[in-house]
Amino acid sequence: MRCPRCGNVELMEANKYGVLIDVCPSCGGLWLDKGELSKIIQAMQRVESSLDEELRSITREHPDIYRRYEEYKYKKRKKSIFDEIFDIFD
């Protein structure tokens, strides 16, 4: 399928979090089929929850590491849910 935006080239498939999405190598456009965005969000939530579990075990053993992580996390700019979702395409 040709890119709906620029029409220059055929779309390529890219695997993001186990979901195949269509990407235009010319203009950089991303095209998602029905349900793909929700699959990507679910995969991100699974990864995030597994990291939280891992962090909890580290916290029990090394509370100073957790404290530094919390300080770092709150120094970062808070992103909207859309910013976090579209970070996966970078």
pTM above 0.85, yes or no: no
* Structure confidence by residue, pLDDT tens digits, 66-86: 777 777 766 655 666 666 666
Mean pLDDT over the full length of the chain: 80
Domain ranges of the chain: 12-87
How many CA atoms lie within 13 Å of 2's alpha carbon, on the beta-carbon side? Answer: 5
CA triple 37-16-80, angle to 5 deg: 50
Q: Please give the structure tokens belonging to residue 2.
A: 């040709």
